[in-house]
Amino acid sequence: MQIDYTLYLCTDRSLMSTPTLEEAVEAAIRGGVTLVQLREKDCSSGEFYQTAVNIKKITDRHNVPLIINDRLDIALAVDAAGLHIGQTDLPAAAARKVLGPDKILGVSTATLEEALKAQADGADYLGVGAMFTTGTKKNARSVTMDGLMEIRRNIQIPIVVIGGVNEKNCTQFNGTGIDGLAIVSAIIAKPDIEAAAREIKGLFHK
């Protein structure tokens, strides 16, 4: 499966400027988002499942892969394109075993050691960060540009950068060999989500 990681939207319903998450995701995709990760930290399993079903109808219509954050059960239940996990979630090797070979598996990493392990355990891509100070994750570990480049040199799989990435700093990653930008508030919190996505995508050159 050929995945375009260029503009990777992570949802956060506490930040969105639209009345519904569905509207936010639709607008972001119209603006050029190539991948959507559904993050639902504060809701029941039933709510998360129903939201995933609704969002998947939108992503499917636009042929954009839907990735579920943390919840392997929800990813399988809605037949999402894949799963994204952090360092304290289910281990990547275990997730890969259950997901099978055809689903996308992403892993959050902040060090070269974590990146190498994730790659060895079957990850398809890495989320590396936090690159900048971010309000969406209070305990995020920071990664320097040198740290990012060390990971890039030693890793064969795609890398998306995350953590405070926005229209003011995204050009710092141009020409670094990074495959995409994972964005939360710089798209979803903007009054015009579609325009915000289009602007960032236009600024970033792989």
Residues labelled as active-site residues: 39, 108, 137
Write out the two tokens for 10.
Answer: 């992570």
Q: What angle do CA 62, 74, 39 make, to 5 degrees?
A: 65
* CB distance 90 to 75 below 8 Å: no
Identify the residue whose tokens are 């609704």.
54
DSSP notation for 96-119: HHHH-TTSEEEEEESSHHHHHHHH
Write out the two tokens for 62.
Answer: 């636009």
* CB distance 47 to 72 below 8 Å: no
- Rounded to whole angstroms, what are the CA distances from 169 to 7, 136, 154, 156, 200? 14, 17, 24, 25, 10
Write out the two tokens for 115.
Answer: 């990146």
Rounded CA gap, 11 and 89, in Å? 19
* CB distance 83 to 103 below 8 Å: yes
